[in-house]
């Protein structure tokens, strides 16, 4: 297995604890495989009635997937190892989404990208005062994958489209308000919550409710009407025009944010969420996202975005195409097109 995930049972609960503190518990392929194998074992073990998912130490719950591996793949092996990572990571996402036993995710800290992918399928999602939730992929030329199309498109009031395009960070109170989290607990109550869940896995909802506190006001609620208005269209140019026509400070700030993002990724994300909303099962969503990932991984924007934001930290990506108008419907069609039958994504 791997020492990057601690795998235990306590009482009547299985326990997955991410353990890459220096990388904010970002997921590697080995971690995905170890988690998947443990979940398979516990699925067939009557002594395990629920699963606890958290992180061992440090600031992150899970900051994402292995971006360096993906960039290295894009630059050096034509995307082969990157596609393998996406394929198996998405199998884990789907396995969690369809799991027969309740999983409780403790999103105590940074929960981004791949971390969102393992938190959102869980029946119970606990936010705290430390939670920082985001899907920041448009800033690196990727897209909100790991089931992001499914989860974000099902938030109300165009909140998902706003989060997908801007990469906005939500705190724990905002996650509860938006329906991303199911409960809000203070950090000092988490150890008690986990111990009680391990003892009484049939009482998870009651335990979390008893330990919940009223969060601070959700700041994003004050902008909900603006988000619903300006992010109403599935056409990216319409969103930009709507923000440009609004002379408020908020609109100017969101417009400036969007101007730093990959136009290709923003258009991909809007189509991805629109398509996902029409789907009635999560597996079909992951087939679509794997098609997108297979194409986007080797397009120019991904390696360039990671260079500018993560490697060189110059924050000056040169996007290609450089403008929304340059991202043609034909390009989008090619990104979403089916793969050869033997290359399509399949569940475990």
The string of DSSP codes covering 13-63 is EEEEEE--GGGTTPBPHHHHHHHHHHHHHHHT-TT--EEEEEESSSSEEE-
Going by C-alpha positions, the residue among 92, 144, 77 that lies closest to residue 122 is: 92
| 3 burial via Cβ count (<10 Å: 0-12, 13-18, 19+) | exposed
Annotated catalytic residue, options 14, 60, 64, 65: 65
Cβ 167 vs Cβ 15: under 8 Å = no
Structure tokens at 118: 């393992």
Give me the catalytic one of 14, 113, 114, 117. Answer: 114
Q: What is the distance between the alpha carbons of residues 274 and 286, in angstroms, rounded to a whole number?
A: 14
Establish whether 145 is a catalytic residue.
yes
Catalytic-residue membership of 137: yes
User: Pick the catalytic residue: 66, 108, 137, 254?
Assistant: 137
CA 231 to chain centroid, in Å, comes to: 20
Tell me if residue 114 is catalytic: yes
Active site residue 202: no
Catalytic residue among 145, 174, 275, 289: 145
Print the SS3 string covering 71-94: HHHHHHCCCHHHHHHHHHHHHHHH
SS3 268: helix
CB 312 within 8 A of CB 158: no
CB atoms within 10 A of CB 304: 20
> Is cis: bond before 321, omega within 30 of 0?
yes
The residues carrying an active-site annotation are: 65, 114, 137, 145
């Amino acid at each position: 297995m791997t020492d990057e995930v601690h795998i235990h049972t306590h009482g009547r609960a299985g326990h997955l604890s991410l353990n890459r503190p220096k990388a904010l518990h970002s997921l590697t392929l080995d971690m995905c495989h170890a988690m998947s194998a443990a979940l398979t074992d516990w699925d067939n073990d009557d002594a395990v009635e629920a699963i606890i998912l958290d992180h061992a130490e440090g600031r992150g719950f899970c900051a994402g997937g292995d971006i360096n591996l993906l960039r290295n793949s894009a630059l050096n092996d034509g995307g082969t190892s990157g596609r393998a990572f996406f394929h198996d990571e998405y199998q884990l996402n789907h396995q969690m989404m369809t799991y027969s036993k309740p999983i409780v995710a403790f999103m105590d800290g940074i929960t981004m990208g791949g971390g969102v992918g393992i938190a959102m399928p869980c029946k119970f999602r606990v936010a705290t005062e430390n939670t920082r939730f985001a899907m920041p992929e448009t800033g690196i030329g990727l897209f909100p994958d790991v089931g992001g199309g499914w989860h974000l498109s099902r938030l109300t009031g165009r909140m998902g489209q706003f989060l997908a395009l801007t990469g906005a960070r939500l705190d724990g109170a905002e996650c509860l308000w938006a329906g991303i989290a199911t409960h809000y607990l203070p950090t000092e109550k988490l150890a008690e919550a986990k111990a009680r869940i391990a003892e009484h896995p049939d009482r998870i909802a009651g335990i979390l409710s008893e330990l919940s506190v009223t969060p601070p006001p959700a700041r994003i609620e004050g902008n909900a009407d603006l988000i619903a208005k300006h992010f109403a269209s599935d056409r990216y140019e319409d969103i930009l025009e709507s923000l440009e026509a609004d002379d408020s400070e908020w609109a100017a700030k969101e417009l400036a944010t969007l101007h730093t993002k990959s136009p290709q990724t923003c258009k991909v994300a809007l189509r991805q969420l629109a398509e996902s909303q029409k789907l009635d099962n999560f597996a079909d969503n992951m087939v679509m996202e794997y098609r997108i990932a297979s194409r986007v991984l080797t397009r120019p924007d991904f390696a360039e975005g990671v260079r500018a934001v993560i490697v060189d930290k110059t924050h000056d990506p040169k996007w290609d195409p450089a403008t929304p108008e340059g991202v043609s419907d034909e390009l989008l069609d090619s990104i979403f097109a089916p793969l050869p039958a033997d290359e399509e994504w399949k569940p475990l």
